[in-house]
Structures are given as C-alpha cells and as structure tokens.
C-alpha cells in the first residue's frame, strides 16, 4: 500500500515540492520538474531526462553534477507533458544544444517528440536517445520496441559525462546511443504496486510464484514460475541476460561489465545483497570483471516487491563515463569538483499568450464550448473510478484521474479565455494546451492535440456550422492518429473518433439541426466504445496485456464516448433549432 498522501491528484506536485526543499544545495524547482542548482557552462550541451512520478529515484533523483542537467516530472505513472519538458529544457539551455533521454513508453515518446518539435521551431538544436534495455518487452529483432528501465542510469551517465566534458551534440548523442546498445536489463516481481489512493494493487502475482520480466508498471513478463531462492533468482536473471550478450562482445573472459542490482520498492537492502553475492560469484566464475557495481534502488514502482538486474557491457570510453564522479540527491560516486559560481537564483517564466478577441458570433459559440467542457468534466468526475478500473485491466489504472486533471485544467483555461472575450477557436486551443499540460501522459497529449486541431479549424470569426464541425473533427482525427501512430482496430480512442467523424461527415449537407446530427453520431460513438471489448490492443502500454484485456472495453475509447455524449446533452439544451452553434 501507499500510506502517506493527501489528495491523490496532487501527489506528484507535493512530493516534488518536498524533494526540492530537502535538497536545495543540489537542485532547483521549475515549472514542470527540477534542474541542477548550478547552470551549465555557456555553449555546452545539456541533458534533459524525464518520466512519470512513482519511480523514485528515477527520474528526479538523477539531476545533479555528473548526471542530468534537468528532469521533467509527470504525474504518477504518466509522462510529463510537452510543456513541462519545454519548461525544463529552456531553463537549462546553455546554447550548445539539448539531448532528451528517456525510457521507451508511448506517452513519453509522444510528449518528448512534441517538445522537440516546439524547441526546434525556436531555433534550439534538440536530439533524442530513447532507452530500450528491457529484454523481456520485445525480441532482439525488435529492440526499438523495448521498454527503458534501470538501464537508463548508465545511458544518462554516459551522455552527461560527455556533455560536461564539452563534447559536441553529435558526440553526446553518439555516446548515449552506444551506451544504449550495450546495456541489458531484466526484472522479476513477486507482487504488484498500489497507487496513492488505491485500495488494491494494480496487478497481482499469485502467492509463491514470481513473474520473470514484469515491467515497472506491472506489464507482464516472459513467464510466471514458482518462486525460488535468492540464488535461484540470481541464476535465472543472469542466464537470460548472458543469452543476450551484445554481438560485439567476442569473449566473456576478461570483459569488463558494469552491474546494477535494483530494488523495485519493497525488497529490502539486505535481500538485495544476498542476491548480489551470488551474481558476483557467477560473473567471476565466467571470467568477467565487474566494474563499480551498484546495489541500490534506482527505478522503483511504489511498493512493488521485485528486483531487476542490469549488465552494462563496457569499452574504454563507456568505462570512463561509468566510473566518473557524480553527486545527485540519489546517486553519488567519487568526489566532484565543487562549483561555487553560476548558481540558479531565478528562472524566467513564460508570460501567458495574449488572447485575440473573437467576433460576437464566435464568442457566443465559445460559451457553448465552455458549457460542453463543464459537462464533460462532470461526467468524467462521476466515472473516474470506473475509468481507472477499465485502465487497470491492461494498463496502469491512472486513466480516470489523468482525464480528471486534464479536464479540470481545460475548464479553468476556457473560463479565463471566455472572460477575455476570446472566440470559440481560441477557447478550444487554450483549453487543449491546459489539458495537455496538466493531464500529462498519452491521453493528455492526444486530447490537447484534438482540441487544438478543432479550435484551429473553427477560428474566432464566424459561428460554427455542421460542415465546420465535421471538418474540425476530421482534422482532429488525422492529427491524433498521426501523433499516436494508432489505426482503426488498435483498441484506442481512434476506434471511437473514426466512426464518430464519419457520421458527422455524412450529415454535412443535411438540413438537420446541429444537435440532431451530433446526437446521432454520439449513438455511433457509444456503440464503437462498447465494441472495443472485442479488440486486442496493438500499441501502447496495454499491448503486452493483450489477452488480458479481451472482453473489456478500452478506457480511452470509453472516456471519449462519455465526453461526446456530454457534449450532445449540452448541444440539445443550447442548440436545438439551428444548424449552427449559437
């Protein structure tokens, strides 16, 4: 269980505030995460990492001298938003380029890619290296699909050491890529984890069994087997890792290797050392030389009982980055040079965009948009626990609370925009930006894209009609599918958005009222959401749980249908006699 929390929705922001207060000598809080307390040298490359909360010390614990310059920190088990990532990146930018480095999860990839595009548009050179060390999550032939877990540390460290040494961005990217190619991890779990506010674990492992290869969010592993001794676990993990020795390693004898034995949250340090004793014996017996081993908690999952083992296959260059000194709140090695100058004392915050006043007709439509968002918030508030339950079947159980956070922020932003006399398009755009920023994760990013796309289509000058709405929804469908790389039949929100968009398009030339057209399309959306129970997920975090999710509708599809129906009720109240939005 997670015992100490206040409002679960505020857990991430509250732990970050406390963490920053406890380590003022090393880190500084910014909007969206934390940064080193001392600025990088002018003209040097900087490293920005990040991920969801709930995995401490990953990722905030790895900010400091010898490691990352900044970390974007999302909500519990949710990727940081693109805006959070941009805020952290701009706070540490020293003019030499930025490397993003993070684990390979759909939400992280989506949001870091968006942030990269935004920063490049500002003229900042940004690259990305995505860590893929978890051998249980895909075959070696599909290494690009593997998750990033404890092997993120040596990749982060390699990149940071190169950056602080003054190497070019190309060189920093190259060494981080090399480190990722030479790191392998596998874990084993004996129980699932419980999120703040949850009354039961997200996933359960049967008594006296263990899941070999289970991920840090409870993703299923390679196999479930009877629990064994500490020595037995060490042998199982090591044999699986050695079976994936990188091709460039021709002979184990004499090879130097970094080793990480990581506790996932509930396993005590004494237990870790019992296991490490056997790992040391087995590696030494095979003729390998262990370099600077780490036995610690490095990437956790609240109270999950389990461990992971990482092998980092070294060459001369990588060995120097691995043994280099570092001093962060959660990782110390050797002695770093003390910096007394260039300390961060203030970070310039970005002013809010000035809103363009809309026409009278568009302002009237904007009031309908706000009412629809408020209705959507009400239905998601009512269904938050059920959405979490649906998500926990094949995901991490946070969909409901993430949607709740995002819609709350969207409504607040829309209210401010409407008070400033913005039109319907601008209200949708600012609501989408707020949703993406506060909601985080995959759903936050996709709903942000959806509202921005629709808002850009509607504009601020004319009263939207059925044709404009159909065009805007079609544009949103295109942009969401492109960003999320989802197709019809993948068991995602696309399976609702696609038929809903098609239904609107078929009524463009009818004389029916906008509320009648939307209501008929909402019926189709409801049916489509229910039909996702017969689909197997093909992308995202639910993909490894494919069989487990059969018979349960997709949480994202259900929440989309609920919101479409909430908008339907708003339109029937406010727009019953016209083909345009009053």
Write out the catalytic residue numbers: 217
> Using CA of residue 11, residue 59, residue 310, residue 327, what is the dihedral sign?
negative
Angle between helices 441-458 and 399-419 (to 10 degrees): 30
> Using CA of residue 171, residue 177, residue 180, residue 182, what is the dihedral sign?
negative
Query: How many residues in the chain?
Result: 582
Nearest CA among 26, 128, 14 for reference residue 69 = 26
Please write down the long-range contacts of 511-517, taking CB distance under 8 Å and 24 or more positions apart. Answer: 511/579, 512/466, 512/579, 513/575, 513/576, 513/577, 513/578, 513/579, 514/465, 514/466, 514/469, 514/571, 514/575, 514/578, 514/579, 514/580, 514/581, 515/568, 515/571, 515/572, 515/575, 515/576, 517/466
In a 13 Å sphere around the CA of 443, the CA atoms on its Cβ side amount to: 31
CB 537 within 8 A of CB 490: yes
Three-state secondary-structure class, residue 131: strand
> How far from 262 is each of 23, 243, 276, 306, CA to CA, in Å?
23, 20, 10, 9
Vertex 264 angle, CA 221 and 295, to 5°: 115
């Amino acid at each position: 269980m997670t015992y100490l929390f206040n409002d679960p929705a505020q857990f991430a922001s509250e732990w970050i505030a406390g963490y920053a207060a406890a380590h003022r000598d090393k880190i500084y809080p910014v909007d969206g995460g934390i940064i080193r307390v001392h600025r990088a040298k002018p003209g040097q490359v900087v490293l920005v990492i990040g991920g969801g909360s709930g995995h401490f010390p990953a990722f905030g614990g790895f900010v400091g001298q010898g490691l990352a310059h900044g970390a974007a920190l999302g909500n519990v088990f949710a990727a940081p938003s693109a805006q959070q990532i941009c805020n952290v990146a701009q706070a540490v930018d020293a003019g030499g380029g930025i490397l993003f480095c993070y684990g390979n999860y759909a939400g992280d990839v989506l949001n870091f890619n968006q942030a990269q595009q935004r920063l490049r548009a500002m003229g900042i050179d940004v690259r990305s290296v995505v860590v893929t060390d978890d051998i249980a999550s895909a075959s070696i032939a599909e290494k690009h699909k593997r998750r990033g877990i404890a092997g993120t540390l040596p990749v982060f460290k390699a990149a940071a050491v190169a950056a602080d040494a003054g190497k070019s961005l190309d060189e920093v990217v190259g060494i981080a890529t090399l480190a990722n190619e030479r790191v392998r991890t596998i874990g084993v779990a004996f129980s699932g984890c419980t999120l703040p506010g949850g009354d039961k674990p997200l996933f359960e492992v049967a008594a006296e069994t263990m899941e070999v290869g289970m991920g840090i969010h409870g993703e299923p592993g390679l196999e479930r087997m009877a629990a064994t001794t500490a020595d037995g676990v060490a042998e199982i993990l090591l044999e699986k890792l050695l079976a994936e020795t990188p091709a460039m390693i021709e002979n184990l004898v004499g090879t130097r290797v970094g080793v990480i034995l990581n506790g996932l949250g509930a396993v005590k340090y004494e237990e870790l050392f019992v296991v490490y004793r056997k790992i040391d014996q087995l590696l030494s017996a095979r003729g390998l030389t262990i370099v600077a081993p780490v036995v610690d908690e490095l990437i956790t999952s609240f109270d999950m009982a389990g461990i992971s083992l990482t092998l980092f296959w070294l060459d001369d260059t990588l060995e120097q980055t691995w043994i280099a000194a570092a001093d962060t709140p959660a990782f110390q090695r050797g002695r770093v040079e003390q910096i007394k100058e260039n300390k961060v004392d203030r970070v310039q915050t970005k002013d809010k965009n000035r809103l363009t006043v809309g026409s009278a007709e568009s302002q009237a439509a904007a009031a309908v948009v706000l009412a629809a968002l408020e209705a959507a918030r009400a239905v998601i508030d009512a269904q938050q626990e059920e959405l979490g339950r649906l998500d926990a079947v094949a995901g991490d159980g946070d969909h409901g609370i993430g949607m709740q956070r995002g819609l709350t922020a969207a409504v607040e932003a829309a209210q401010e925009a409407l008070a400033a006399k913005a039109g319907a398009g601008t209200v949708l755009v600012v609501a989408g930006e707020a949703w993406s920023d506060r909601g985080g994760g995959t759903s936050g990013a996709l709903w942000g894209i959806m509202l921005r796309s629709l808002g850009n289509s509607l504009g601020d000058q004319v009263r939207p009609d059925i044709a404009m709405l159909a065009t805007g929804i079609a544009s949103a469908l295109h942009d969401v599918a492109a960003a999320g790389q989802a197709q019809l039949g993948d068991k995602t929100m696309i399976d609702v958005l696609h038929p809903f968009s098609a239904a609107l398009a078929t009524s463009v030339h009818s004389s029916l009222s906008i509320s009648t057209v939307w209501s008929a399309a909402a019926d189709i959306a409801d049916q489509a959401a229910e039909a996702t129970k017969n689909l197997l997920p093909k992308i995202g975090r639910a993909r490894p749980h494919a069989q487990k999710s059969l018979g349960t509708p997709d949480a994202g599809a259900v929440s989309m249908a609920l919101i479409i129906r909430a908008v339907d009720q708003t339109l029937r109240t406010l727009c019953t006699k016209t083909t345009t939005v009053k």
